[in-house]
Amino acid sequence: MTEKKNIRKLEEGIKLEVSERNNYGGYLCLDTLFSAQKPISDPEHHDEMLFIIQHQTSELWMKLIIHELNEAIHCVQIKRLGRASKILARVKQIQKQLYEQWSVLETLTPSEYMQFRHVLGNASGFQSVHYRQVEFLLGNKNEKMVNVFPAGSESRKVLETVLDSPSIYDVFIKHLFDEGYSVPEKLVNRDLRKPHVFNQALMEVLVVIYKRPDQHWAMYALCEQLVDVEQSFQQWRFRHMKTVERIIGFKQGTGGSSGVGFLKKALELTFFPELLRLRTEL
């Protein structure tokens, strides 16, 4: 009895001869992407590849968050709050990917990491221009952070631009003001290079929205999306801190920070203080 080979035939419509630029790898520039993993430990340590890919993929996800936040800001400015809410829902899902990635890095033991940590030199996530852009776009402005990047560098120019531009919370507050809500004018004419500071009058406006959500649904829905994004960001910060604690304990960070202590302080920061405080007032 002849044994039949379990070989699936290709469908006739499948294109086999595709130019390199028009195929899957060409469209995604995979040759460039896959050539960017360059361990420098000598001899090469097996786990350095994990460390590099973990951080490179995080940078890609943050690049997408920046792309989405800029669009959400634009949508609020042109009064498309529904579209902005939808985009922020996507941002939350991207943040979920970043959060879950820590479980991969957590498989790196202290003994393994110590075998190649020295090759990082002063390199640190503290120097991530993408991470800093995300913080600025969400409203945690800090002029001093720009100095981490060399004067005249493209990274510094990008951060200066974001620093001078309104955050997602700034444009939402202005939208409330433009719609006739009792938002203090000083909040829409403030120095955008500074972080937003809690304002009692703004919270009272938001309390009105939350007490009558059906009458203010677009604003209410957007507020809740902002809270989701903040909560997801805080969860990511916490997981980051615990991962660092698990791998290096309380050693100083490669970039010169206090490490875990520095990351714990970041957990005290908030982007949208009125949205969190109003819960107590309802």
Give the Å distances, CA to CA, from 57 to 34, 102, 154, 183: 12, 12, 21, 40
Q: 62-83, pLDDT tens digit by residue?
A: 999 999 999 999 999 999 999 9
- The answer to whether position 7 is within a domain reads no
Known binding site for substrate: residues?
Answer: 51-55, 113, 117, 254
Alpha carbons within 13 A on the beta-carbon side of 149: 20
Band the pLDDT of 125: cuts 50, 70, 90: confident
Q: How remote is the C-alpha of 38 from its chain's centroid?
A: 24
- The answer to whether position 68 is within a domain reads yes
- The answer to whether position 202 is within a domain reads yes
- Domain enclosing residue 232, as ranges: 46-246+258-280
CB 62 within 8 A of CB 134: yes
Q: 163-216, pLDDT tens digit by residue?
A: 999 999 999 999 999 999 999 999 999 999 999 999 999 999 999 999 999 999
Torsions phi, psi for 264 (to 5 deg): -65, -40
The number of distinct structural domains making up the chain is 1
The stretch 8-29 carries a mean pLDDT of 76
- The answer to whether position 6 is within a domain reads no
Strands (E), the chain: none
- The answer to whether position 12 is within a domain reads no
Q: What is the CATH number of the domain that holds 174?
A: 1.20.58.480
Is residue 2 predicted with pLDDT exceeding 90?
no
Known binding site for heme: residues?
Answer: 240
d(Cα 183, Cα 203) in Å, to the nearest integer? 9
Known binding site: residues?
Answer: 51-55, 113, 117, 240, 254
The burial class, CB within 10 Å (0-12 / 13-18 / 19+), for 227 is middle
- The answer to whether position 115 is within a domain reads yes
% of the chain beyond a pLDDT of 90: 86
- The answer to whether position 20 is within a domain reads no
- The answer to whether position 66 is within a domain reads yes
d(Cα 246, Cα 269) in Å, to the nearest integer? 23
pTM (2 d.p.): 0.93
Average pLDDT over the chain, rounded to whole? 94
In this prediction, residue 7 carries a pLDDT of 75
